[in-house]
Every structure is written in structure tokens, then in C-alpha cells.
Amino acid sequence: RVCQEYTPVTRHCDLRTCGAMFAQTSSHLLRAPTARSLHARRGRASVGSQPRRAHVCAKVREIFMPALSSTMTEGKIVSWLKTEGEQVSKGDSIVVVESDKADMDVETFYDGFIATITVGEGESAAVGAPIGFLAETEAEIAEAVAQAGAAPAAAAPPPPPAAAPEAPPPPPPPAPEAAPAPAAPAAEAPPPPPPEPAAPPPPPAPVGRADGRIIATPFAKKLAKKLKVDLSKINGSGPQGRITASDVEAAAGGATNAAPAAPAASGSAPSATPAKATPAPAAAQAESGFQAFNGMQQAVNKGMVASLEVPVFRVSTTITTDALDALYKKLKPKGVTMTALLSKAVAVAVAEHPVINADCDGKGFIFRDYVNMAVAVAMPDGGLITPVLKNADTTDIYQMSRDWKDLVARARSKKLSPDEFTTGTFTLSNLGMFGVTRFDAILVPGTGSILAVGASIPTVVANEDGSICVKKQMQVNLTADHRTVYGADGANFLATLKSVIENPDNLVY
């Protein structure tokens, strides 16, 4: 209310501006007026002074990149759910942002219209940076667009010089230089307007933006895909060279006119089209010699580097899995997964050794009275995530299996909430399904231990009576923070885990 009734017209409102103004006026605005002060005010008003006018704060608001987790420093726009000019209401999801390890819908806190989008799909921005502008009414849309283009406008002058360098690099330019000469005569003679359509293609080739980026509205992208129009050959008419739907439609109209000529040329050599199509992907692959980390890979990178600061030790043991395999075979038709069964067994063992479930903050132990199993899952587009099975030691195996299937499905579609992949107290990494028999896992920051599980394979073993038999066995390796877990603690935990897995009947409850 303070912002809407008392601040001067700034045409731009954000929390920082309003907060500063509120700090300056709060003592005056929040002080209850006395009878004398009210009388004095009335007296001044009656003398003929001009009545006070309440100024309304700006109707244009910036849409900021939100902080979706405590570790998030920048976000990537996955997709805009609303298009420029579209009306939105408070609570509507307007954009999908990729955080460290999940894609999350971002809602608007105000009613209004999406005036302009300044950070397009696939682009990144720092937390707190503006990614778009919201206008309260349609009348403010033009003003919002002007605000969005104000900063880039200053950078607009440099583009001309940049355009000059761009022409020299390509060797073919000499030919284009000859082309401009005929273009002048064409301009002198009005009759040749028909040939002129061939001239428009050259201008689109150089992108309107100096940085070479292709910026288009979400609707323009969808339309371009539908009409099969190459956005890189269109000069945007929107602010900052942004390509709009009308630009795409215009380009599509020109393409259809030029289409007849193309078939005629390609009629003699139909194989020419595929030949041109194949080089394009090849060029794309050549340019992808360096590929930047996506949000998830950046998070993994930071976590792994941070883990190097933790003093760890490793201890391993061999566990016979015949009984566990038999139990799994029995429960599988009921929807129980091996991951859930292993997680349950590990959680039960962890619950008996609180120090294994503890963490260290550098000053002491952090003990938990619950066991949240974080299980590593590889992501299709790179990186990994650790969905959390909460209270794994007390949750029944059937519910745990259902929870796990749901978590994996949402993890791979990047729909997990931070609480579902950042609250693990013990981590399980299983590469047994890939045939890996033994490996060491890297400790996840914020936890005290991680268990690496290898494949269960038939092994020739000697019984206590000296007889020889074949049993299925697997290797498990524990990596632990030596500040909280000592060698004896790790050995005792593995002994308990071995007992639980080799006698798994108690896991079904």
C-alpha cells in the first residue's frame, strides 16, 4: 500500500526501490495522526492550498530470474509458457526454469500482460536478473518494450563496426561485392522490381543482432517450426532485433514464392538436396568441439570438487546374495524393485549405526534420527541426480518400490522438487546392472558415507567344512568421512549389512 499510494511516479517498480522509499516514509506514514494534526491539515487545506495527490507506482514490473534452491546462482530458461502480449493472472505459471538439477515452473505474483521477453528459451541469466517485463495493462506494453530496449539501445551503435568485420572473414565476399554493384542499377531502374525479390535473401543472411544470437518470441519459434522457416535467415522487427510471428509469416510467404524456382533447379539433380542436408549436421558436430555444462552438470562439478576437501577412507567386503535374489524373485511380481530392496537393506543397517548416518560441519557431529536414502540415477542428457527415499528404514518395501518408480520418472523429466533430491543422509550408488563388479564412489558433500554396490556374480567359494560350491556374491565398498566415521565404525556397519542381506526375511514388513 505504501508503494501504491505514496511513492512518486517512477514508471518502474521493484522491491528495492519501494523498500528504500518505505524506509524514508514509514515513520511518517505509520504514525497515527493526532486530533491537532488533523485539524491543522484541514486548516491548511481550507486556506486554498492544492489537495495532495496520491501517485500510483509504476505499472511495469520486471520478471526476475528466481532462486529455486540455496545453491542456485543462475538459471536457464527451458521454455516460456506464455507468449508476448498474452494476459496472465496471479498464480499462473509463465516460464519453466532449469535449476541445478530440476526444471521448475515459475509463477507470476501479479495480474497483467507479458509485455516482452528479454531472455529467450535456452538462454541463461543470473539469479535476480530480469528475464522479461510484465505490464499491468495493455496500455503499458509499449512502455515496457521501451524499458527493455533502453539498455540495448546504447549498445546498438557498436553493431555497424561489427558488421564490417563480419563481411571480410568469409572468402566468398568478393562475389557479394560484385553483387551490390548490379543492385544499384536495379534501384535506378524501377521496372526490374521482379528481380528485386532475389535481393531480399541477402539482407536476411546477416542477422540483425550484432552478437549473432537468434532471438525470437516463443510463438515465432513454434510458427517457424510449423512453417519450416529458418530463423537464422530472418531479420527481426521487434525490439533488440527480436523475431516476431509476423516476421516468420512474411518469410514463409517469400519462401513459398521462391519455392517453384528451387524445384526447377533441383529437378535435374535430386541428390543435391540430401547432399546439402548432410553437411549441415556435420558442421554442427564440428562446432560442438566444446560443450558447456548444463545446470545439472555444473552442480555435479561443484559437488565433486567440494568433496576433495573431505578426508575419506574406504573399506569393502563381499556379500552372498543368494537369499536376497530368491526374495526378489518372489516379490518382483508384486512390483518390488531390486533398487528398493537394496535401499531397504542398507537403510536398516544404517539405522543400527547412527555414526554412519551422521555428518560433520567442521566443529562436531550432526546426528539424524531418520534415514533418508539418496540413490544415484544417471540422467539421459548428462549428469546424475540422487532422488531421496525418505525414512527408508521404516517404510515398507511395497510403498518404497512405488515411491522409487515415481521418483525416477519425475527425476528423468526434471520434475523433482529440491526437497526430493537434497535431503539424503546416506547415498547408495549401484552399477551392478552394468556388469561392474567393483568401484569406489565419491562422497557427496553434506553426507558422511556413500556405498558403492557391484554386480552379483556366480563365484566358487569354500564352505567351512572344506567343501566347494558356487554362490552369487557381490562387492560393496564404503567411502566415509574420516572426521566422523572411523575404520572400526565402517567395518561394523558392513558386517551388519552383510547379515541383513544374507538373511533378508525381515525386510518384508
161 burial via Cβ count (<10 Å: 0-12, 13-18, 19+): exposed
416 within 8 A of 385, measured Cβ to Cβ: yes
Beta bridge partners of residue 480, listed in sequence order: 313, 449
320 within 8 A of 473, measured Cβ to Cβ: yes
473 within 8 A of 461, measured Cβ to Cβ: yes
Return the axis-axis angle of helices 487-502 and 338-351, rounded to nearest 10°: 130
Catalytic-labelled residue, pool 39, 55, 353, 482:
482
Within 8 A by CB and 6+ apart from 99, the residues are 68, 69, 72, 75, 295, 418
27 burial via Cβ count (<10 Å: 0-12, 13-18, 19+): exposed
Closest to 493 (Cα-Cα) out of 316, 353, 348, 392: 353
Within 8 A by CB and 6+ apart from 486, the residues are none
77 burial via Cβ count (<10 Å: 0-12, 13-18, 19+): buried
Whether 482 is catalytic: yes
Cα–Cα distance measured from residue 312 to residue 67, given in angstroms and rounded to the nearest whole number? 32
Place of cell 511518517: 28
Structure-block grid coordinates of residue 412: 528423468
Please report, for residues 72, 381, 401, 433, the alpha-carbon distance to residue 296 in angstroms, rounded to integers and kept in the order given: 11, 9, 25, 23
Place of cell 572400526: 488
Query: 133 φ, ψ to 5°?
Result: -130, 140
Return the axis-axis angle of helices 322-331 and 338-351, rounded to nearest 10°: 120
107 within 8 A of 91, measured Cβ to Cβ: yes
Within 8 A by CB and 6+ apart from 426, the residues are 346, 347, 350, 356, 357, 371, 372, 373, 374, 447, 448, 449, 450, 451
Cα–Cα distance measured from residue 390 to residue 371, given in angstroms and rounded to the nearest whole number? 7
Rounded-to-10 torsion of CA 146, 150, 155, 160 = 30
Closest to 454 (Cα-Cα) out of 473, 436, 434: 436
Closest to 116 (Cα-Cα) out of 147, 137, 95, 91: 147
Q: Which amino acid is at 288?
A: S
Q: Which amino acid is at 265?
A: A
Task: Provide the residue count of the chain.
Answer: 509
Q: What is the CA radius of gyration of the chain?
A: 33
Cα–Cα distance measured from residue 221 to residue 245, given in angstroms and rounded to the nearest whole number? 8
Catalytic site residues?
Answer: 482
